[in-house]
Amino acid sequence: MSEDEEKKEDIKLERETVAEEELLLPRDTLLSAGIHIGTRMKTRDMESFIYRVRPDGLFVLDVKKTDERIKIAAKFLARFEPSKIAAAAARLYAQEPVRKFCEVTGAIPLIGRFIPGLLSNPLYPRHIEPEVIIVSDPRADSQAVKEASMVGIPVVALCSTDNDFSNVDLVIPTNNKGRRALAVIYWLLARQILRERGELPPDKDLPLTMEDFEAKISREEEEG
């Protein structure tokens, strides 16, 4: 079965099991962004978030559980002052979504390589003291997760099927490697946080689109 055929099959199966009115976005929008596509590896930690395994060996995440966790994470994050929330993105595809997320919510963007001591060393000139941190991938952003744990900062993490929960306090199960998936997840999380804060009516969307959140990467950057 080709990749396109697999994607159509995923959408067909999800349509049969997920009620659209229960989700923050139409299921077709979520599925076409590939937020449910995991990897060919799974950890014991992620088992409860996995919907099925495809014939090609890819594990598929449960879209409904992703939606539920976004609601929980948004409610939790809305309790913090915007300037006390940090968001880390080492992966290229996560960097623009995090920039836009921080622009919309007022959080602190930590883009690219995480400098050791940023959270854990008060003597470091650029030291910051957020009260919560979001990471785009606990593996790629491992230094941020490690330092947050050292200083007692809760970690909200986007986790795919191959991630474990070591030092992670709140998991959002999602494809954390795909360009479109990351844009949609961060857009949706930002919108839900603003709604929880009362800054955005329940029937209104962000001034920025999901396309605005998507990474614009040249072939040279991608290959480099």
Q: What is the pLDDT of residues 150-203, one digit of tens each?
A: 999 999 999 999 999 999 999 999 999 999 999 999 999 999 999 999 999 999
Name every residue whose Cβ is closer than 8 Å to that of residue 116 and which is 6 or more positions away in sequence: 143, 147
pLDDT, tens digit, for every residue of 61-98? 999 999 999 999 999 999 999 999 999 999 999 999 99
Looking at every residue in the chain, the average pLDDT score rounds to 91
Confidence of residue 222 (pLDDT cuts 50, 70, 90): low
Average the pLDDT over 33-49 and give the result. 96
- In one letter, which amino acid is 59? F
Q: What pLDDT does 69 receive?
A: 98
Q: What pLDDT does 91 receive?
A: 94
CATH code of the domain in which 30 resides:
3.40.50.10490
- Give the 3-state secondary structure of residue 23: coil
- Give the 3-state secondary structure of residue 219: helix
Domain total for the chain? 1
Which residue range forms the structural domain that includes residue 61? 3-223
Q: What pLDDT does 18 receive?
A: 46
Q: What pLDDT does 221 receive?
A: 54
Name every residue whose Cβ is closer than 8 Å to that of residue 9 and which is 6 or more positions away in sequence: 1, 54
Alpha carbon 62 to its chain's center: 15
Residue the block writes with tokens 């949609």 = 184
Distance CA 90, CA 52 (A): 29
Q: What pLDDT does 33 receive?
A: 96
